[in-house]
C-alpha cells in the first residue's frame, strides 16, 4: 500500500519531486516482494504491477515488460478473479478525480516515451516489447476510467474507457489478455 500511495503522489510537483516519490514507491514494492523469499506462498502480483508502472514511466520498457508478464502470469496461475471486486479493488475502489488524474499523467508520460521509441531504428522484438508495455498502460488507464464511471456514473468516462481500450486492442495488436477482458466488462455494463 505504501508503494502504491507513493506512486499516486508522484503526480504532484515537478520532475524534481516526482523522481524521489517513484524511488520510494519502488523501494516499498521491492520490500514487499522480498517477503516472498521468506514465505513462498505470498502472492506478489499486485506488487509486480506497481513495479511495471514505475519501470514504464521511467522508460525502461524491458523491465516493465518482465514485471507485467510476471504479474499477469501469477494472476492466471492463481486463478484470481478479475471481477470488479477482484485484484484491482485496492487500486480503483475509492477512485477519485486525483487518482484518475494520476493514471492519466502516467498514460501521457509513457505515451511520450513510446512515441520517442517509435522514431528510433530498432528490431521488431524491441518494438513489440514497447507496444506490449504501452498496451498494458492503456489498459491500466482504461480500467481506471471504467471504475471511475462505476463510481461516479459519468458516461463520459465509460466512453473514454472504451476509446482507450479500443486503441490498445486495435492499434497495438498485442496479446495482453486484460484488454480483451476489460472490453468484455465494458460490453456487459453497456448491455445492462
What pLDDT digit, counting tens, does each position of 52-72 carry? 999 999 999 999 999 988 887
Q: What is the pLDDT of residue 192?
A: 75
Q: What is the DSSP string of 123-143?
A: -HHHHHHHHHHHHHHHHHHHH
Residue 84 DSSP label: T
Residues 6+ apart with CB under 8 A from 55: 61, 63, 64, 67
CB of 51 closer than 8 Å to CB of 67: yes
pTM score of the predicted model: 0.83
Q: What is the pLDDT of residue 39?
A: 55
Residue 111, all three cell numbers = 505515451
Q: What is the pLDDT of residue 128?
A: 86
Average pLDDT per block of 10 residues along the chain, 192 residues long: 82 78 88 66 73 94 92 67 53 88 95 87 77 93 92 92 91 78 83 79
Amino acid at each position: 500500500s505504501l508503494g502504491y500511495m507513493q506512486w499516486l503522489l508522484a503526480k504532484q510537483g515537478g520532475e524534481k519531486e516526482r523522481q524521489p516519490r517513484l524511488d520510494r514507491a519502488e523501494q516499498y514494492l521491492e520490500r514487499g516482494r522480498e517477503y516472498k523469499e521468506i514465505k513462498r506462498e505470498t502472492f506478489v502480483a499486485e506488487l509486480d504491477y506497481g513495479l511495471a508502472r514505475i519501470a514504464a514511466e521511467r522508460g525502461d520498457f524491458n523491465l516493465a515488460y518482465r514485471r507485467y508478464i510476471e504479474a499477469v502470469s501469477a494472476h492466471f496461475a492463481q486463478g484470481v478473479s478479475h471481477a470488479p471486486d477482484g485484484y484491482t479493488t485496492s487500486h480503483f475502489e475509492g477512485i477519485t478525480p486525483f487518482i484518475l488524474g494520476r493514471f492519466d499523467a502516467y498514460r501521457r508520460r509513457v505515451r511520450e516515451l513510446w512515441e520517442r521509441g517509435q522514431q528510433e531504428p530498432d528490431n521488431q522484438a524491441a518494438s513489440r516489447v514497447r507496444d506490449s508495455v504501452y498496451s498494458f498502460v492503456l489498459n491500466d488507464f482504461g480500467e481506471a476510467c471504467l471504475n471511475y464511471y462505476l463510481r461516479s456514473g459519468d458516461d463520459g468516462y465509460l466512453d473514454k474507457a472504451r476509446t482507450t481500450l479500443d486503441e490498445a486492442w486495435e492499434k497495438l495488436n498485442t496479446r495482453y489478455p486484460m484488454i480483451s477482458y476489460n472490453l468484455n466488462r465494458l460490453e456487459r455494463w453497456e448491455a445492462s
